[in-house]
Chain A
Amino acid sequence: MPNRLKVAVSPHIHKPVSVSKIMWSVSLSLIPAGIAGAFIFGFPALWITVISLITAVTTEAVIQKLTNKKISIKDGSAFLTGLLLAYNLPPSVPFWIPVVGSFFSIAIGKMIFGGLGQNIFNPALAGRAFLMASWPSYMTSFTGPLKFDAVTSATPLALLKEGKPLGDVSYMDMFLGLRGGCIGEVCIIALLIGAAYLLFRRYINWQIPFTFILTVGLFTWICGPRGFLTGDGIFHVLSGGLILGAFFMATDYVTSPLTINGQIIFAFGCGLLTAIIRLWGGYPEGVSYAILIMNAATPIIDRFTKTRVYGIVRY
Chain B
Amino acid sequence: MTEKQQNRCFQEFIKGIIRENPTFVLALGLCPTLAVSTSVSNAIGMGAASTFVLIGSNLIVSLIKKQIPEEIRIPCYIVIIATFVTVVELIMKAYSPALNRALGIYVPLIVVNCIVLGRAEAFASKRTFVHSFMDALGMGIGFTLALMIISIIREFFGFGKIINYPVSYNFHPALVIGMPAGALLVIGLLLGFFNLIKQKK
Contact = CB atoms under 8 A, between A and B. Distances in A.
Interface of A: 100, 108, 112, 130, 133-136
Nearest to A134: B174
A136 B173 CA distance: 11
Interface string B175-194: 11101010001000000100
Contact of A133 (B172, B173, B179, B192): B179
B177 A134 contact: yes
A134 B185 contact: no
A112 B196 CA distance: 13
12 contacts: A108-B185, A112-B192, A130-B174, A133-B179, A133-B181, A134-B173, A134-B174, A134-B175, A134-B177, A135-B172, A135-B174, A136-B175
A134 B177 CA distance: 7
Shortest 8 CB-CB contacts between residues of A and residues of B = A134-B174, A133-B176, A134-B176, A134-B175, A130-B176, A135-B172, A133-B175, A133-B181
Q: Label chain A's interface by main secondary structure.
A: helix
Contacts of A112: 192
A201 B80 CA distance: 70
Contacts, number: 18
Contacts of A108: 185
A278 B40 CA distance: 39
Interface in B125-158: none
Nearest to A96: B172
A94 to B, nearest CB: 8
Interface in B68-116: none
Interface string B40-78: 000000000000000000000000000000000000000
A112 B188 CA distance: 11
A133 B181 CA distance: 10
Contacts of A133: 175-176, 179, 181
A77 to B, nearest CB: 22
A101 to B, nearest CB: 11
Contacts of A136: 175
A190 B179 CA distance: 38
A100 B172 CA distance: 12
Nearest to B157: A134
Contacts of A130: 174, 176
Nearest to B185: A108
B185 A135 contact: no
A112 B190 CA distance: 13
Contacts of B173: 134
A196 B176 CA distance: 37
A130 B176 CA distance: 7
A108 B174 CA distance: 15
Given A133-B176, A135-B172, A135-B175, 15 more contacts: A100-B174, A108-B185, A112-B192, A130-B174, A130-B176, A133-B175, A133-B179, A133-B181, A134-B173, A134-B174, A134-B175, A134-B176, A134-B177, A135-B174, A136-B175
A132 B172 CA distance: 13
A100 B157 CA distance: 12
A130 B186 CA distance: 13
Nearest to B158: A134
A109 to B, nearest CB: 11
Task: Indicate the member of B173, B175, B181, B185 with the most A CB atoms within 10 Å.
Answer: B175
A136 B175 CA distance: 9
Contacts of B176: 130, 133-134
A136 B177 CA distance: 13
A132 to B, nearest CB: 9
A134 B176 CA distance: 5
A141 to B, nearest CB: 14
Contacts of B179: 133
Contacts of B175: 133-136
A75 to B, nearest CB: 25
A118 to B, nearest CB: 14
